[in-house]
Amino acid sequence: MGCMFSHLAAKFAFFPPSPPTYHLTKNPDGKLSAVSASSSSTFPAAGDSSIDVRVVKTRRGNKVAAFYLRNPNARLTLLYSHGNAADLGQLVDLFVQLKVNLRVNLMGYDYSGYGASTGKPSEYDTYADIEAVYECLQTEYGVGQEDLILYGQSVGSGPTLHLASKLPRLRGVVLHSGILSGLRVLCHVKFKFCCDIYPNVKKIKKVKCPVLVIHGTEDDVVNWLHGNRLWKMAKEPYEPLWIKGGGHCNLEIYPDYIRHLYRFIQDMENTTTKSRLKKIWQEIRRRDESKGCCSFKLCRPKCPSCPKPSCDCGECGCCKCECLSLKGCFSCCKKPSCVGCCCPKFKCCNCFGKPTYPKCSCWKCLKCSESECCRSCCCAGCFSWLCCCGGGKRKELKTRGGETTVAKREG
């Protein structure tokens, strides 16, 4: 049943040019060339080593045509997945411009059933197509995921996000007029249907690299809301490009398109693993602070007598203590919020931050008005709490005849 619905959906999603705009021929040296159906021109031209024409076999048994364009100054490679009504013969000129202006190597391919590729187009065939082309980039050109940027236009956003969700160290993703899903292009729905294809709304959440979204505000095929939501759902969204007045198939003619895309490529070139991790942690910390609690949902104990609390989130009473005498005491989250004690070994605190262990004097000590105050308590074993109020002096609780007294001793 699922295959029948997928086959039905494919009829509405794929419109390969008929007849194809090019065909492949084999040269005397054994290499492949592409011949344009309109002008009968051949590419690559004789002696041109900057373009490779290849045929890649997929795990579903189809043979996919692919063009690889070299740039000697490139550091990154762009894997381009085109829209649903074009083939490589129509995109060669665009590929050459992108290769030169963005200073990248570029691999473009035709889906099964498009151009010189065999088979019939379907959602799962496009997944197999892009996986096979990526494997070709690895084995034939030595391109790792760390040096790869995936580019998906319109329907091409489907296979792009499919592969991106499987590559944790991918350098970046570009979604050009991307879709939330196939069915959502036709109607605004918030539910998943068995006949839907390309569930990008789900796969975007699994992408772990920067995502650039480009969309025209006047797109009458894929509404701008698709791009806006994809951008909002990305884990690491890059500054989007909303082209005012742009449609579905003409964004490349706007100057901002190549300018913004070039800036993205440059930022990805300058991005290292260390800087990416730092940026991710900064973003996590920023989001957690906006929620009022730390990322592990733990609360800091309140500082009863600190004259310089730097913050109080209100919701859980978190407080960063800036008091010099208590420096380091509450600078990080140690006590869970109503889920147990900070040191379960001694069970000295409950979820309200009050001592329950009979020999624990740390909280009373904090409330003490005397300057010679001690915080030595049962927590010393797990948090190494030392005296911070009395210059090394500390207090101890002693029981004499059933009465509790406080004795002072030099630490």
**Token pair 């390969």: residue:** 16
Mean pLDDT value across the chain: 76
Tens of pLDDT, residue by residue over 347-366, are: 444 434 444 444 444 444 44
Q: Using DSSP, state whether 284 is helix, strand or coil.
A: helix
Query: What kind and span of H or E run contains 50?
Result: none
Tens of pLDDT, residue by residue over 24-66, are: 999 988 899 999 998 888 888 777 889 999 999 999 999 999 9
pTM given for the model: 0.67
Of 130-134, 192-196, 230-234, 270-274, where does mean pLDDT reach its minimum? 192-196
The answer to whether residue 349 sits within a structural domain is no
The answer to whether residue 364 sits within a structural domain is no
Q: Which member of 82, 176, 248, 260 is catalytic?
A: 248
Structurally, the chain folds into a number of domains equal to 1
Instruction: Give the closest residue to 379 by CA, choosing from 308, 306, 330.
Output: 330
Asked if 248 is an active-site residue, the reply is: yes
Query: Residue 68 is part of which domain span?
Result: 1-282
Share of the chain above pLDDT 70, in %: 63
The answer to whether residue 394 sits within a structural domain is no
Find the mean pLDDT for residues 283-299: 57
Query: What kind and span of H or E run contains 149?
Result: strand 148-153
Checking if the pLDDT of 339 tops 80, the result is no
Q: Which member of 125, 219, 260, 361 is catalytic?
A: 219
pLDDT confidence of residue 358: 42
Domain CATH code at residue 239: 3.40.50.1820
Q: Which member of 112, 122, 154, 165 is catalytic?
A: 154
The answer to whether residue 134 sits within a structural domain is yes
The answer to whether residue 391 sits within a structural domain is no
Find the mean pLDDT for residues 370-383: 42
Find the mean pLDDT for residues 98-124: 96
Residue 244: CA count within 13 A, CB half-sphere = 0
Asked if 23 is an active-site residue, the reply is: no
Q: What is the 3-state secondary structure (H, E, C) of 103-135?
A: CCEEEEECCCCCCCCCCCCCHHHHHHHHHHHHH
pLDDT confidence of residue 248: 94
The answer to whether residue 109 sits within a structural domain is yes
Highest mean pLDDT among 174-183, 242-251, 373-382: 242-251
Asked if 154 is an active-site residue, the reply is: yes
